[in-house]
Structure 1
Amino acid sequence: MAGVDYMLNGIALDSRYCRVTLGSGLFAGVSVSRSKVSAPFRHGTIPSGLAPSFEERSLTLKVTAYRQGAIGRDSGMGSDSSRLARLCMAPNPVLSRTVNGRKQQASVELASLEADDGGTVLDRVTPFTAVFALPQVWWRDPEAFDRPLAVNTTANLWPAARTWTQKYWTRWSGEENNSTSLLADFVTMWMGEENDSTSLLIPLADGIPDGMFGDAPITDLILRLPRNTTSATITDPVSNTGVIWQGAANANMFTYLDVGNSQAWQSSNDHQWSKSGTDVTGGLDYPAGGMLQCWPNPVDNGYRLTTKLTGSTEPLLAHARRAWW
């Protein structure tokens, strides 16, 4: 894949003596649950209503390793083939890539690593093929953002790029009330919580590229419910998946719902994104469509969630990492 730089466990695979010449990340296969129905003079299918499931995908890297001394004036007997082998066989490998300036990563498992037959030239050039399995299917943002969600409405987790305009005057070009006004020529937003996160500013002339906020389902959201919440239902209007929680009101505790691991806990810490505190998983449930997956809208690529709470009108907070195919 042109213009993509790969790293394994934070170490660049591309070096002076090692080059990734090909990287493939084909789409994952899609499986849809359907039931066949047949009767005299009638036939058809009944969809289950569940969101599609995705098979484990694989990534193939073609890597060429050079012996030191094969390039320029360097000398030595070492080869980057041993470095490549060490990286590929490290425990708990994490493969990273940079696409159009966006860093993406995935937990992977090494499926195979072998030298290509006939590729070695006098021990100077050794091409390898490395195949990795991606059990979690998607590439994800290494950084998680804490995105506020208004309650009892449908709110944007990540906005649709095509809707970004700012049609209002921003400042006088000269004397107040006696000069032309200047229209905003940029879009800006908080990437996380207001006044407590990095901000984004992009000139309108450049536009916001499709997929900047992700283009794959987000399956590992952690949601923080406000204090005093007694029930919450959060659903994705695209996939009809969701998560439901019911429990006793607590004026001192936030309730956290980890939809990726089907766990819930309460903590007085306002950013307790790993399980700690009081376990309240017993109040966790989900609708008929299945556990929450936040899918991009197929028309405008925006990510939205519909929220319904009792016990509080404070906003939810979603701990989210962007996801890409």
Structure 2
Amino acid sequence: MAGVDYALNGVALDSQYCRVTLGSTLFAGVSVSRSKVSAPFRHGTIPSGFAPSFEERSVTLKVTAFRAGALGRADAAGLDSSRLARLCTAPSLTLGRRVNGRRQQAVVELASLEADDGGTVLDRLTPFTAVFAMPQVWWRDPVAYDRQVAANTTDWLWPSAVQWRQEYWTRWSGAANDSTSLMADFVTMWIGEPNNSPSLLIPLSSGIPDGMFGDAPVTDPIIRLPKGVSSASVTDPTSNTGVIWQGAANANAYTYVDVGNCLAWQSTADHQWTQSGTDVTGGLDYPAGGLLQCWPNPVDNGYRLTSKLTGSAEPLLVHARRAWW
């Protein structure tokens, strides 16, 4: 399909004699798990006020093997049909896709795989339908980035979509009014930690489009709190969810809060994204709105976090992967 390709466990599904002809992965169906509350003499139900919880999604791929890839050939080929069966029935599966150059992936489980009898032409054409469960709901970036977030204020986790009106910008190459003027039609930004991640070049003419940094909630960030912090509250202003940690301040160690696994630990290492060091999970809690989920603002697509720290004003570092529907 134009601008989209698929892979299972890193092995491309498209080949010389095999093509993905249809994929509900472009936008798999979404259903919400709702707890309904009703009251006497009141119409309808009472809104919960909480962020929605989504059921696992179902992904359907239609893949066609043809010519040498089809089943039933006299030369006993059918290699692509065998490859599909082998890939789809592997013990653990990661379905990947590339959408307009952007890599995304999701852990999936095979629900069914069958050859479509109605479209099969023996030794010439074998169409398959594969259905996968998508337990973790969203497509994720294969790479996690470390994003710096200012403390004791509301700051960006991922910037909002923006379209610039100007065609270029200028700056002095040296001292103001005493050096040559430089002109550029682009801006740059770090995709992760400043001076420790790739730099993005964004043309002014195209701006930051919707979905560039995700369009689904990030539910599993790992937050590094500065050294010396004795309490911290990190909330998402869009969903009113958050995470709270309280404990003994340690001037020599960072405190890491793993939201997805509800764990916390202290370590002297500055990028310890897996649990190690001293366990301080007992200090974890969350507000009435629920455990932290960072949602994109529905108006501008920006991801924001509000933090309040005791013991430090240094910025937080958030280890997170982008998420898409």
Could you say whether these structures have the same fold, taking a TM-score greater than 0.5 normalized by the shorter chain as the test?
yes
Q: Secondary structure at the match of 1:245?
A: strand
Aligned residue in 2 for 1:196: 196
CA contact (8 A) 1:33 1:47 kept: no
Aligned residue in 2 for 1:50: 50
Aligned residue in 2 for 1:29: 31
Q: Deviations over 1:64-86 (max 9, x none)?
A: 1135287xxxx762431110011
Q: Which moved more, 1:301-310 or 1:159-168?
A: 159-168
Aligned residue in 2 for 1:106: 106
Aligned residue in 1 for 2:286: 286
Q: Residue 35 of structure 1: CA displacement?
A: 2.0
**2:79 aligned with 1:79:** yes
Q: Residue 179 of structure 1: CA displacement?
A: 9.3
AA paired with 1:21? T
Q: Determine what percentage of the aligned residue pairs are the same residue.
A: 74
Q: Which moved more, 1:87-96 or 1:22-31?
A: 22-31
Q: Secondary structure at the match of 1:129?
A: strand
Aligned residue in 2 for 1:170: 171
**Any gaps of 5 or more consecutive residues in structure 1?**
none
AA paired with 1:191? I
Q: Residue 133 of structure 1: CA displacement?
A: 0.6
C-alpha distance in structure 2 between counterparts of 1:53 and 1:103, whole Å: 25
* Distance change >3 Å, CA 108–CA 44, structure 1 → 2: closer
AA paired with 2:170? W
C-alpha distance in structure 1 between counterparts of 2:217 and 2:177, whole Å: 49
**For this pair of structures, how many residues does the alignment match?**
318
C-alpha distance in structure 1 between counterparts of 2:4 and 2:10, whole Å: 15
* Distance change >3 Å, CA 123–CA 230, structure 1 → 2: same
C-alpha distance in structure 2 between counterparts of 1:299 and 1:293, whole Å: 17
C-alpha distance in structure 2 between counterparts of 1:28 and 1:62, whole Å: 20
Aligned residue in 2 for 1:211: 211
Equivalences for 1:285-324 in 2 at 5 Å? Answer: 285-324=285-324
Aligned residue in 2 for 1:65: 65
C-alpha distance in structure 1 between counterparts of 2:318 and 2:105, whole Å: 20
Q: Which moved more, 1:1-10 or 1:281-290?
A: 1-10
TM-score (norm. length: structure 1): 0.91
C-alpha distance in structure 2 between counterparts of 1:218 and 1:76, whole Å: 47
C-alpha distance in structure 2 between counterparts of 1:58 and 1:77, whole Å: 31
C-alpha distance in structure 1 between counterparts of 2:32 and 2:252, whole Å: 43
C-alpha distance in structure 2 between counterparts of 1:90 and 1:165, whole Å: 50
C-alpha distance in structure 2 between counterparts of 1:69 and 1:227, whole Å: 59
